[in-house]
Amino acid sequence: MTNSPFTPGIVPARLDGRVLQENFSDLHAPLDAHEALVAADRCYFCHDAPCITACPTTIDIPLFIRQIATGTPEAAAKTIFDQNILGGMCARVCPTETLCEQACVREAAEGKPVEIGRLQRYATDRLMASGLHPFARAAQTGKRVAVVGAGPAGLACAHRLAMKGHDVDLFDARPKGGGLNEYGIATYKATDGFAGAELDWLMQIGGITLHTGRALGRDVTLDGLCAEYDAVFLGMGLGGVNALRADGEDRAGVRDAVDFIADLRQADDLARLPVGRNVVVIGGGMTAIDAAVQSKLLGAENVTVLYRRDRGAMPASRYEQDLAASKGVRFVFNAMPVAILGNGAVTGVRVEYTRAEGRSLIGTGETFDMPADQVLKAIGQTLEDAPDVLTIAGGKIAVTGPGRTTRKGVWAGGDCAAGGEDLTVTAVAEGRDAAEDIHDSLMG
């Protein structure tokens, strides 16, 4: 059956171009110079700052905020990039409300943290706008490293290795580098082609050659890379999507939310993107929230997120849930789809209420039908084409320490590796730390 998004009820141009442009504008306007100084002045510059501990990349947050406060935002950006070379994107997409800002002393005392994310964006944007790259390569080592996956983990690893003097070949299956940053982030969080601009800026370090359209298992093999290179880093993310396991899942109008978001990110004209009138999103993570909000922004009249557990168990932060609700997205908790209704194209979803018994989840037998002409699946991704020679743990590549796999000379990080949270900032930290370990290993 053809699973085309262009089915009855799923049409483009539900809103005119002016409204679409406004809907998909920057979620948070950047700070100007005066606003940045005022925001920086609220920082206590704690000696044992809990915000640093809460940051997966351990950026020295009090230091960079003090540098902004003293009128040197470019120095602040260098402090950020020392630890997180993708600090510009992380400033836009990090769940700061559950990381550094949640740990902020001001949050505990007043319920209003220092705006760390916006200050980070202010500093990094200033330096990147100058066109300068704050790092230079060390003397060339003569070592060559293959990095598979040009997403956050791969880019962080490649940059750190290049900075250490190694030559890096960076392989990615898609037509563009950037990975999740280019294809998987909600459009209103990274506007004006920022992901591509950040990639170009990062590549200024030199020593990195990007090869697009090259997938592991299809175009390159792990054995081949191990034979040709001194080390290999795997950061290709999760390419597969979990099955819904509900009757009628193959009906037209049912698609993966990650593909829906990728189409949005790559669209030249949002008015040409089709969206349903009644959209149901199945899942509870950030992908579900991003798909739901953007469906609403494209003009869907009714958007509902179905999540099988209660609100407290939802992986997406309460901030993101509230953002979706403010855009008109409806949530139905303790409910799971049991059938996709329709004759060819989807017309609705049959939903069963659930209840938790310990860690188990069971259906109550009580069902209801929800109208839908478009269903977006956001129920998690799986690792595709994992090399057989690597140990797999929980559906991901097993690693120890700074990303060492069970095969000598091969490291892994980001979403494809076991352990850690599936966050951009976590992927950056894992790529960076693996690069340091690769360097130590190569240099003896």
Q: What is the mean pLDDT of residues 285-310?
A: 97
Residue 65 to residues 40, 119, 122, 221: CA-CA distances in angstroms? 6, 7, 10, 45
pLDDT(2) > 70: no
Each residue's pLDDT tens digit, 124-181: 999 999 989 999 999 999 999 999 999 999 999 999 999 999 999 999 999 999 999 9
Model-wide pTM > 0.75: yes
Please tell me which residue, 359 or 37, carries the higher pLDDT value. Answer: 37
Q: What is the mean pLDDT of residues 239-253?
A: 91
Each residue's pLDDT tens digit, 365-417: 999 999 999 999 999 888 877 787 899 998 899 999 999 999 999 999 999 99
- Domains, in order of start, for the chain: 33-129 (1.10.1060.10), 144-239+383-442 (3.50.50.60), 241-380 (3.50.50.60)
Backbone angles phi, psi at 251, to 5 degrees: -70, 150
pLDDT(349) > 90: yes
Each residue's pLDDT tens digit, 73-112: 999 999 999 999 999 999 999 999 999 999 999 999 999 9
- Sheet (strand 330-332) strand order: 254-256, 374-377, 278-282, 302-306, 330-332
pLDDT(1) > 50: no
**Of how many residues is the chain composed?**
444
pLDDT(237) > 80: yes
Average pLDDT across the chain, whole number: 95
